[in-house]
Amino acid sequence: MISRQQLIDQIKLKKSFLCVGLDPDMAKIPRFLLEYPDPIFEFNKRIIDATRDLCIAYKPNSAFYEALGIKGLESLAATWKYLPKDCLNIIDAKRGDIGNTSDMYAKAFFDEAASGLGFDAVTVAPYMGHDSVLPYLNYPGKWVIILALTSSAGSKDFQYLTTENGLLFEAVIKTAVTWAGPDRLMFVVGATKGSEFTDIRKYAPDNFLLVPGVGAQGGSLEEVCKYGMTKDCGLIVNSSRSIIYASTGEDFADAARAEALKIQLQMKEELEKAGII
């Protein structure tokens, strides 16, 4: 469990607001790992060991584990247990269902005794409204990270529709901030256009924003910081593929560290520029 203040302290201590996305694909991990009993965990373990002082969050995406069935869920549970507890542990699950079903998803991701997983935070899809979000908030101190603006081509299909409450992703933010405070709620905000952060900050001035897409999905860190950073930083910037697949050889962990370090140094510069450190 990690509170808003602890998160801010970690950012200042590590001079970083990097989240490493743990999306391991059996077809892409280095071949020599296939000899281990749990290649996916072995891959994650080495990535974590190589990056833990450079990042403040880890984010396994559930899909990559579910694709491997029961073996995958075992890898996810082992990975969760291994994650450093001074980092925010996010499960990127993008769930969303009616209330009694969301209770079950909250158990699946937050209640270690029930499911073997006890993440700090979960990503949630907003389409089904408040009853798909509130059940997670019954777990004291746990975080919900609501999809607002995503970074892929499909985000244009619905998220930019104009509604009576602004663009759809703005309506999601304006409504969701009435459900919980910035100590419990974050938003996923895709980084393809930095200027959109200005609008988002009108409605979510203090919420942390989880920003995917710096790296493989192609956003600019400088632009994100220029428009999205607050006095508490207020940003967690994720990179998955560009770090974990920096090399596919035996040196993959060293290459991942080098890539994470490159990003961390840029982040340090941005934090200094903003007077946060």
Catalytic positions, written as ranges: 94
Instruction: Rule CB under 8 A: say whether 165 interacts with a second copy.
Output: yes
β-pairing verdict for 166-167 and 57-60: unpaired
Alpha helices (H) along the chain: 4-14, 39-51, 62-66, 69-82, 99-110, 112-115, 134-137, 155-158, 168-176, 196-203, 221-228, 241-244, 252-273
Instruction: Give the residue, chosen from 13, 34, 98, 265, that forms a contact with a second copy under the rule CB under 8 A.
Output: 98
Selected binder of a second copy within 45, 129, 258, 262 (CB under 8 A): 129
From the list 211, 138, 119, the residue with the least C-alpha distance to 180 is 138
Mark the segment that binds a second copy (CB under 8 A) among 47-55, 107-115, 229-237, 244-252.
107-115
Shortest Cβ distance from residue 24 to a second copy (Å)? 10
State which of positions 75-94 bind a second copy (CB under 8 A).
77, 94
Alpha-carbon gap, residue 18 to 58, rounded angstroms: 9
Examine residue 137 and tell whether it contacts a second copy (CB under 8 A).
no
Q: How far apart, in whole angstroms, are the C-alpha atoms of residue 4 and residue 141? A: 9
Site membership for a second copy, residue 191 (CB under 8 A) = no
Do the bridges between strand 235-239 and strand 166-167 make them parallel or antiparallel, or are there none, so unpaired? unpaired
Contact between 34 and a second copy by CB under 8 A: the answer reads no
When asked if residue 162 is in the footprint of a second copy (CB under 8 A), the reply is: yes
196, two tokens: 């959109």
Residue 107 class from Cβ within 10 Å (0-12 exposed, 13-18 middle, 19+ buried)?
Answer: middle
Backbone angles phi, psi at 22, to 5 degrees: -100, 85
Query: Among residues 23 and 42, whose Cβ is nearest to a second copy?
Result: 23
Span from 5-13, 44-52, 156-164, 196-204 in contact with a second copy (CB under 8 A): 156-164
Minimum gap (Å) between residue 141 Cβ and a second copy = 20
DSSP label at residue 230 = B
Residues lying near a second copy in the complex (CB under 8 A) are found at 23, 25, 61, 63-64, 66-70, 72-74, 77, 94-99, 101-102, 104-105, 107-108, 111, 114-117, 125-133, 147, 150-159, 161-165, 168, 171-172, 175, 217
